[in-house]
Structure 1
Amino acid sequence: MDAWDGEEVPARGIAGFWRRLGAFVIDVIVLGIVGMILGALLFDTFARMGIYARLIGFAIALAYFGVLNSRIGSGQTLGKRWLGVRVVDAQGQLLSLPRALLRYTVLSIPFFANGLPVDPGMAMGSVLGYLLALIVFGGMFVTVYLYVFNRRTRQSLHDLVVGSYVERFDSPARPVPFPTMWRGHLAVAGLLAVAALGVPIAANHLAQTESFADLMPLYRTLSSQPHVMTAQVARGWASMNGRTTRSLQSSLQLDAPLIGDAAMARRIAQRMAEADSQIAQENAVVVRLVFGYDMGIASGWKAHVYSYKPEELR
């Protein structure tokens, strides 16, 4: 009979929360250093790739975690090796390479997929929107929940999918099987996945508001400009000494090192002023040109900000 997760249950050297977290932080730092070195050497190449640079980062991380967490690497990444833990299956055997690769894929897909440049109109209230919400938000919610609250086996979503455990490797092996997870966690995980489906519903409700609807045509206009890979547009305000300053702001990721092109920034600002029905209420039009990369494991950016008064753009 299953006991509540907080009760004492015989364990077979299950790695604790802080050991696993510490090992993961070390591994993230190692991968970050690798990504930063590659980014410094190939900055322009990765920057021109846009979102596809994440595929490079994913491939590097997949090779690192997949190979080292398998029997090839004795079930230990550098972080796990330094903190005395390793990945094994229910029988205490090291994982095969395909199994270890699948384990990391399940863990990483929600995080690498988060922030993909998807048109808001396509992502809200559509099948694609619900699928992304389930993968990104559902995957992250369930992974974090199990990692924190599944104290009996410390298995998170990626461990459950492949049947793996993370055990302490610096303590004597115990001749007892691994404990089983409290089944109530599966019910909570299911509720979290369902809750994630509420994200596109909330986003669709937001899209119906007047302020958001006014910005959508401008977003699409900016997204279609030459050299623009992704666009963000928002209204901002600042208050100082009792005076409030309103601004229409955009941030554009470019596929070329044109952040110093003042003429391009001015053309963008003019497009913004022409397309905004509320431009008369704004005190400034701000354009941020960005050139850089995001590999998931590391990122680097160069940016230049331009600000204009609406009357200067006529």
Structure 2
Amino acid sequence: MKNNLFLSAFWTRVWALFIDSFILGILGFILGFAFENFFISLGESAKLLGWIVSLTYFSILNSKMNNGQTPGKKLMKIQVTDIEGKTIDLKTSFIRAMILTTPFFLNGFTIPGSDTFSVINIVQSIIIFASGIGIIIFYIFNKETRQSLHDIITKTYVVRDHRNHSVTMMPPLKKLPFYITGGLLSIIIITSVYNFNSNSEIKELIPVYEKISQQDHVLRTTVSMNYFPPENNKPVYTISIRTDQKQKFDGNMDNDPVVKEAVETFISSNVYKTDQSILNIVIGSGFDIGIARKYYSYNVIKPIYKWRETLKQ
């Protein structure tokens, strides 16, 4: 289609996004300082608050209400428009912001009350991850129209805030970014399914993960197993626990009720090889609202037989 637009350069958009992210980060720091304990108690749901702030920021400022310019875009002299160079309405800007921010705020987010390994969470993770990959790939490889995934869906363009004196044709969108995105996503899905199905040791840890996740004050848990060093046949099991309370680390976490219950659950599961196996407990608290985060953590690492002695005390 004919137009008189100058498309924004790649690095101009990157710098504009960096400036906007910095501004949101400052706002997130202020909110985190004022409401730290509240955000900690919310756990994963705290990210939704940061998401709302970002959605509001990008939706309003990228619309015609602010001439299609966030502070970052204004400094870099670019704006969001349609193919005719007109700034977009609030509805279109909201949809555009929703597509852009969703993968980065909901990546790793577990639906409250659902199992991490449930079909719904797995499908959700694939969709969100694919969207994030698509946004990045199109951002880099779509050199013809400089549209990322959120621009293509909403039919918007990021252009310079001054116009060309002559009318030109907008170049067609090439298929290369689609092929790259689809290929990477296929490789990731196939690799993940293969690794999960072929690793029986990881499967055995799922019941441990589920039981620890149900403990009081536990917001999030990860359970993993590695060999350290790699050539050593002695496994190191790591249980990372995030609680809903600000932890007071006094150097003696052995008697922390969350730690003790997690150790008891692990030992009673009998998933470890021998009492010489290493169990590393990482316990922490903090918040992540997407635009700001703060964590406190402490870890205790011992062989299983030492943990048995600790539990008897």
Change (3 A) 1:141 1:294: same
- Number of paired residues? 299
TM-score (norm 1): 0.85
Q: 1:142 aligns with which of 134, 137, 147?
A: 134
Q: 2:240 aligns with which of 229, 243, 251?
A: 251
Amino acid at match of 2:172: M
Once residues 108 and 41 of structure 1 are traced to their aligned partners in structure 2, the CA distance between those partners, rounded to angstroms, is: 24
Change (3 A) 1:276 1:39: farther
Structure 2 residue 200 is matched with structure 1 residue 206: no
Q: 1:218 aligns with which of 186, 192, 208?
A: 208
The corresponding residue for 2:167 is 176
Q: Secondary structure at the match of 1:94?
A: coil
Change (3 A) 1:120 1:20: same
The corresponding residue for 2:311 is none
Deviates more, 1:69-78 or 1:190-199: 190-199
Q: Is contact 1:273-1:285 (8 Å) kept?
A: no
Once residues 143 and 117 of structure 2 are traced to their aligned partners in structure 1, the CA distance between those partners, rounded to angstroms, is: 41
Once residues 109 and 232 of structure 1 are traced to their aligned partners in structure 2, the CA distance between those partners, rounded to angstroms, is: 23
Identity over the aligned pairs, expressed in percent? 25
Amino acid at match of 2:307: L
TM-score (norm 2): 0.86
Q: Secondary structure at the match of 2:117?
A: helix
Q: Secondary structure at the match of 1:37?
A: helix
Structure 2 residue 310 is matched with structure 1 residue 312: no
Q: Is contact 1:144-1:156 (8 Å) kept?
A: yes
Once residues 173 and 25 of structure 2 are traced to their aligned partners in structure 1, the CA distance between those partners, rounded to angstroms, is: 35
The alpha-carbon deviation at position 199 of structure 1 amounts to: 4.3
Once residues 290 and 174 of structure 1 are traced to their aligned partners in structure 2, the CA distance between those partners, rounded to angstroms, is: 59
What are the Cα deviations for residues 120-140 of structure 1, in whole angstroms up to 9, with x where unaligned?
Answer: 431xxx36523431x222212
The alpha-carbon deviation at position 277 of structure 1 amounts to: 2.5
Structure 2 residue 130 is matched with structure 1 residue 152: no
The corresponding residue for 1:5 is none
Once residues 178 and 65 of structure 1 are traced to their aligned partners in structure 2, the CA distance between those partners, rounded to angstroms, is: 28
The alpha-carbon deviation at position 270 of structure 1 amounts to: 2.7
Change (3 A) 1:11 1:137: farther
Change (3 A) 1:286 1:132: closer
Once residues 84 and 276 of structure 2 are traced to their aligned partners in structure 1, the CA distance between those partners, rounded to angstroms, is: 66
Once residues 74 and 14 of structure 1 are traced to their aligned partners in structure 2, the CA distance between those partners, rounded to angstroms, is: 16
Change (3 A) 1:106 1:174: farther
Once residues 186 and 123 of structure 2 are traced to their aligned partners in structure 1, the CA distance between those partners, rounded to angstroms, is: 6
Gaps of 5+ in 2: 309-313
Gaps of 5+ in 1: 3-8
The corresponding residue for 1:229 is 219
Amino acid at match of 2:147: Q
The alpha-carbon deviation at position 107 of structure 1 amounts to: 1.0
